[in-house]
Amino acid sequence: METIERILADAMPLIRLAAIVLVVLVIWRWRAGSGWTGVPASSIHVIDGDTFSVLLNSGQRIKVRPTGYDAPELSQKGGRMASSEMRRMARRGLLLKERHYDVYGRVVADVRIGIDGKGGSLAGHMLRSGLAHSLSQSGFVRFVSTLGPRLAGRGIWKNSWLGLRVTNPRVHRAAKAWMQRHHGA
């Protein structure tokens, strides 16, 4: 009996190590199967506040459009601020989960801040920072999701009573397209 106890005592460090390795492998496999991909900052090029490209191992670049928010165009009030904030967040690396492709051929993805995603949702950050509009289907939800920054006068909502003078990027793009079609501008 004493021999079995001694053998088990001698084997205990090895058993603990095997258990730790098993747990790490299970977590790694679960994470790999979850559809999330960590992208280091060195592979990210920010285009504007809601579009960036990722350099793949093949040398190809793909454009990515994060879900959940719409940042002002570079030519709009706050567009450069949103782009700058996107660049700042990208320096931490990003965690992506592909959803689909949009009409422009961009990958539409859920995006989290940090290569491990621990920085939280990029959309939530941009909305709380006052640098984006919500993409919710409900006008009420879109308004409420930006109410904090509107009341605080942060980002694009600065110097605009509740943001009533702020042009939604979708409206800005539509007006720009109309001008190009009808006036060649």
Buried b (16+ CB within 10 A) or exposed e, 75-102: ebbbbebbbebbbebbebbbbbeeeeee
Edge-to-edge strand ranges of the sheet holding 94-101 = 36-39, 94-101, 107-113, 61-66, 51-55, 44-48
Residue 99: which of 123, 133, 74 has the closest Cα?
Answer: 123
Say whether pTM exceeds 0.75: no
Contact 120, 112 (CB under 8 A): yes
CATH number at residue 102: 2.40.50.90
The pLDDT of residue 173 = 65
The pLDDT of residue 159 = 76
Q: What is the rounded CA–CA span in Å between residue 35 and residue 174? A: 34
Query: Are residues 81 and 14 part of one domain?
Result: no
The pLDDT of residue 143 = 83
The pLDDT of residue 129 = 93
Contact 48, 79 (CB under 8 A): yes
The pLDDT of residue 37 = 92
Contact 90, 52 (CB under 8 A): yes
Query: Are residues 86 and 48 part of one domain?
Result: yes
Query: Are residues 116 and 84 part of one domain?
Result: yes
Query: Are residues 21 and 59 part of one domain?
Result: no
Q: What is the rounded CA–CA span in Å between residue 22 and residue 172? A: 53
Query: Are residues 169 and 89 part of one domain?
Result: yes
Query: Are residues 16 and 101 part of one domain?
Result: no
The pLDDT of residue 99 = 95
Half-sphere exposure in the Cβ direction for 163 (13 Å, CA): 24
3-state secondary structure of 147: helix
The pLDDT of residue 10 = 74
The pLDDT of residue 105 = 92
Buried b (16+ CB within 10 A) or exposed e, 16-48: eeeeeeeeeeeeeeeeeeeebeebeeebbebbb
Q: Count how many domains the chain has.
A: 2
Tokens 């920085």 map to which residue?
Answer: 119
The pLDDT of residue 27 = 65
Tens digits of pLDDT across the chain (185 residues):
567 777 767 767 777 766 676 666 666 655 555 789 999 999 999 999 999 999 998 989 999 999 999 999 898 888 999 999 999 999 999 999 999 999 989 999 999 999 999 999 999 999 999 999 888 877 788 888 888 888 888 888 887 766 666 667 666 566 677 777 777 65
Query: Are residues 29 and 61 part of one domain?
Result: no
Query: Are residues 127 and 49 part of one domain?
Result: yes
Domain that holds residue 79: 38-183
